[in-house]
């Protein structure tokens, strides 16, 4: 029952995210005459030239890749991505209906001032939405589907170059589509920057952390303080100094970024203790405050 509820919630969340993403396009992107990155950027430019709704174009562009991912890579990922694309495309088509009349909500200044806010806000919002949808083992289509297919057959291939080339092409072509002006090119670049950075931050989110590797003669004492004061545990590893061949203990601990100062204060109390610090871009599994249910380590 819990599995059914979780799956239902995921599909409902993907549906809602797709509608919000489409709304972002209608309010911030289409009225301000610039193309976002990726396949949707191409669809936006075709819509601008030929007045063909981008919703239809999004479906046409993504269906072949959805089928390929379903057959060759991951069926669940393909189905969830298809749900997003269908809902996103359908929402774009429905929002074009005059009956809805979204004009009061559209962001566009009469004299062209503050045009920069269109790509900034839409990049931030769509980046956040993309980060969330990826957490549900799905994607928004386009270059993400191409990335999955490339990784299937060329795991070591750097897809960032493919993304860079595609986004650069969209930015360059937008110069000719939107009246031979540089502003749409700059707006496309600006959108791409916020879109990729915010989605990356969303994926890292609260799972971004700091890793300490602590060499000490007081492993139990340090570990107890980490558990009691920071709410995290540690892994104890036996170590040997290469120069003196003295036996040491090494504690490996992953903590929140805002706990660095507290852990440094703990380590200062124990003579001869040394630590190296590194960034952890993400963590998998439980990474929570355990102070309420922690137990101390004893000799």
pLDDT tens per residue across span 28-79:
999 988 999 889 999 999 999 999 999 999 999 999 999 999 999 899 999 9
Quickly count: other Cβ atoms within 10 Å of residue 200's Cβ: 14
Read off the tokens for 38. 């990726």
Give the CA distances from residue 70 to residues 23, 50, 76, 181, in Å, rounded to whole numbers and listed in that order.
28, 32, 8, 40
Quickly count: other Cβ atoms within 10 Å of residue 217's Cβ: 14
Taking only the tens place, the pLDDT of each residue in 252-283 is 999 887 788 889 989 999 998 999 999 887 77
Write the burial class of residue 40 (CB in 10 Å: 0-12 exposed, 13-18 middle, 19+ buried). Answer: buried
Pairwise CA distance, residues 80 & 199, whole Å:
18
Q: Which of 34, 19, 180, 192 is nearest to 107 (CA)?
A: 34
Contact 145, 69 (CB under 8 A): yes
- What is the mean predicted confidence (pLDDT) over 231-245? 87
Q: Is pTM, for the whole model, over 0.85?
A: no
């Amino acid at each position: 029952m819990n599995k059914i509820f979780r799956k239902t919630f995921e599909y409902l969340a993907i549906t809602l995210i797709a509608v919000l993403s489409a709304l972002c396009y209608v309010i911030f992107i289409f009225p301000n005459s610039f193309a976002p990155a990726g396949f949707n950027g191409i669809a936006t430019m075709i819509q601008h030239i030929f007045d063909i709704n981008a919703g239809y174009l999004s479906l046409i562009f993504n269906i072949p890749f959805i089928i390929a991912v379903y057959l060759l890579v991951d069926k669940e990922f393909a189905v969830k991505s298809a749900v997003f694309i269908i809902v996103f495309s359908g929402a774009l088509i429905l929002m074009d209906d005059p009956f809805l009349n979204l004009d009061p909500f559209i962001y566009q200044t009469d004299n062209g001032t503050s045009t920069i806010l269109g790509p900034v806000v839409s990049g931030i919002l769509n980046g956040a939405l993309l980060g969330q949808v990826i957490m549900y083992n799905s994607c928004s289509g386009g270059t993400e589907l191409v990335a999955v297919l490339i990784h299937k057959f060329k795991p070591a291939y750097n897809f960032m170059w493919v993304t860079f080339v595609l986004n650069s092409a969209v930015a360059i072509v937008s110069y000719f589509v939107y009246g031979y002006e540089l502003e749409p090119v700059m707006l496309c670049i600006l959108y791409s920057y916020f879109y990729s950075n915010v989605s990356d931050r969303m994926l890292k989110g609260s799972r971004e952390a700091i890793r300490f590797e602590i060499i000490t003669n007081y492993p139990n004492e340090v570990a107890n303080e980490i558990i009691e004061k920071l709410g995290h545990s540690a892994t104890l590893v036996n170590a040997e100094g290469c120069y003196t061949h003295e036996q040491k203990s090494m504690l490996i601990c992953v903590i929140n970024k805002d706990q660095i100062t507290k852990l440094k204060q703990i380590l200062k109390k124990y003579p001869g203790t040394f630590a190296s610090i590194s960034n952890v871009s993400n963590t998998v599994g439980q990474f929570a405050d355990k102070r309420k249910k922690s137990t101390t380590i004893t000799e």
